[in-house]
Amino acid sequence: MKNKMLKSVTTSLAVLFLLAGCGGSKDTAKKEEKKDTKASSTEVTTGASEKGYTDPKELKDEYDIVIVGAGGAGMAAAIEAKNEGKNPVILEKMPVAGGNTLKSSSGMNASETKFQKEQGIKDSNDKFYEETLKGGHGTNDKELLRYYVDNSADAIDWLDSMGIKLNNLTITGGMSEKRTHRPEDGSAVGGYLVDGLLKNVHEKEIPIFVNADVTEITEKDGAVDGVKVKVEKKEKEIKSKAVVVTTGGYGANPEMLEKEKPELKGYVTTNQAGSTGDGIKMIEKLGGQTVDMDQIQIHPTVQQDKGILIGEAVRGEGGILVSQEGKRFVNEMDTRDNVSAAENKLKEKSSYLIFDAGVKERVKAIDFYEKQGFVKKSDSIEGLAKELDMDEKALSETVTTWNKAVADKKDAEFNRATGMDHGLEKADYYAIKIAPGIHYTMGGVKVNTNTEVLDKDGKAIKGLYASGELTGGLHGENRIGGNSVGDIIVFGRQSGKQSAAFVK
């Protein structure tokens, strides 16, 4: 397979995706891309960064399996299909692989893993199941959820077997155990995961085409038989025995969002520009069923100027939220919907995420936030309050009270019980101004545990599979932080295996 050299490393592409279509202007995105490409043109993080995408001239007329979308789910599906001896191809409409996976920050949730056991963390699939069900207000598809939790540890092992090690554990809102798995150095999971998956895609010589916009899924005699794709301004029909759709949600499609929830008009989004619901629309045209389409997650910690998510790991490692008055107002480790609701009740409808040098050391993603200019800093709490135009005494008392709560392992104010391993006592001190933003679409295409797409009668559409954020049901009314990365790997793998079995 011929590879076209990428202009910059995966980390540079991640920056571009973080900035594009997420509240910042296109001009800003282009400037950042140019600046970052120049700065990092000589850097290489892994072998994946050295390799490019397949030349469009090599696109064939037929493959065993067409995979639409090159995010985490799509690449996981392709790798498993290849492992089963099939000939898959990945088609991605954006200029780079990664999708929303590139923007994932906190980690991947999994239970009963070898890394938990190594670190003395006692967890169970049943506890993971019950806490996720509670977080989704009991509305989750129970069969999908059961499959997810029971296969989550194996997914961690599978990634590890390919050199993608997620052995640094933290915690997210709505969870009682450290089951959020991160890269060893505590960095954001998204870029690391995409880089590792892309490396394996290349090593297995799976063709991956970018700027390849699939416009239609075709069918014949009641079964899916390929796709229509636009490449280099030309439309081409590709035949296949199965199609796997992994195109993500619709968090960057204002029209779809407003149709489902008019009250979200004007909200900034954390989603990359390609998350426009294309796969959902194409599957609906084939008679596919959708579920929970009005369930759209608002995330409480979003930087508003550029629409960038400030990862839940910052709170999981000890950060707190304070109002402009310098006071805590919520259990920071409650579920995302509850924290967002509390924030929206504040006069300013925004707040500050406060943390110290210890949190910064444990959450490497903060380095990126700092480079973007989001972070205020001081060598004292009082100095930080001045930077934020906040009452110095109020913020100082808030932090002192919090540190005592950590020492006593008892939060009398808001009953927070997790993310309390460390107090905020190590200078320097930091703050990021945040407010709620559109983050994730829980609704989408209805699938079964084999990732077969179901029609309106509940029957599987022959040869059609889907996984990742474009599917609905797993998360119910509220997604737990860290479960989306688990979702794309567990069900991405399943869609690769099942589509390969169908082809056989």
Across residues 117-122, what is the average pLDDT?
98
Rounded Cα distance, 256 and 294, in Å? 10
Strands 429-441 and 296-303: antiparallel
Q: Is 411 exposed, middle or buried (0-12, 13-18, 19+ CB in 10 A)?
A: buried
pLDDT for residue 48 is more than 90: no
Of the pLDDT bands very low, low, confident and very high (cuts 50, 70, 90), residue 106 is confident
How many CB atoms neighbour CB 448 within 10 A? 16
Q: Is 455 exposed, middle or buried (0-12, 13-18, 19+ CB in 10 A)?
A: middle
Provide the 8-state DSSP code for 242: E
Strands 234-245 and 212-220: unpaired
Q: Please tell me the least confidently modeled range out of 16-30, 264-278, 437-451.
A: 16-30
Complete DSSP assignment for 403-455 = HHHHHHT--TTT---SS-SS-S-SSSEEEEEEEEEEEEE--EE-B-TT-EEEB
Rounded Cα distance, 236 and 223, in Å? 20
Residue labelled with tokens 């993500």: 248
Tokens of 188: 């954001």
Across residues 407-418, what is the average pLDDT?
97
Q: What is the pLDDT of residue 352?
A: 98
Across residues 295-307, what is the average pLDDT?
95
Whether the upstream peptide bond of residue 185 has omega within 30° of 0, thus cis, is no
Residue 274: alpha-carbon gap to chain centroid: 14
Catalytic-role residue among 336, 362, 416, 479: 336
Q: Tell me the average pLDDT of the chain.
A: 91
pLDDT for residue 135 is more than 90: yes
336 in active site: yes
Pick the closest to residue 219 from 208, 230, 227 (CA basis): 227
Rounded Cα distance, 316 and 322, in Å? 15
Residue labelled with tokens 């590139």: 102
Q: What is the pLDDT of residue 204?
A: 98
Q: Are 146 and 448 in contact (CB under 8 A)?
A: no
Rounded Cα distance, 196 and 176, in Å? 29
318-356 pLDDT per residue, tens:
999 999 999 999 999 999 999 999 999 999 999 999 999
Work out whether the CA dihedral 408, 410, 411, 416 comes out positive or negative: positive
192-218 pLDDT per residue, tens:
999 999 999 999 999 999 999 999 999
Domains in the chain, please, with CATH? 50-295+442-503 (3.50.50.60), 298-437 (3.90.700.10)
248-281 pLDDT per residue, tens:
999 999 999 999 999 999 899 999 999 999 999 9
- Residue 27: which residues within 8 A CB-CB, separation 6 or more? none
Across residues 404-414, what is the average pLDDT?
97
Strands 452-454 and 444-445: unpaired
pLDDT for residue 239 is more than 90: yes
pLDDT for residue 32 is more than 90: no
Amino acid at 61: D
Q: 62-81 burial, b for 16+ CB within 10 Å, e for fewer?
A: ebbbbbbbbbbbbbbbbbbb
The SS3 call for residue 79 is: helix
Across residues 50-76, what is the average pLDDT?
93
How many CB atoms neighbour CB 27 within 10 A? 8
- Residue 457: which residues within 8 A CB-CB, separation 6 or more? none
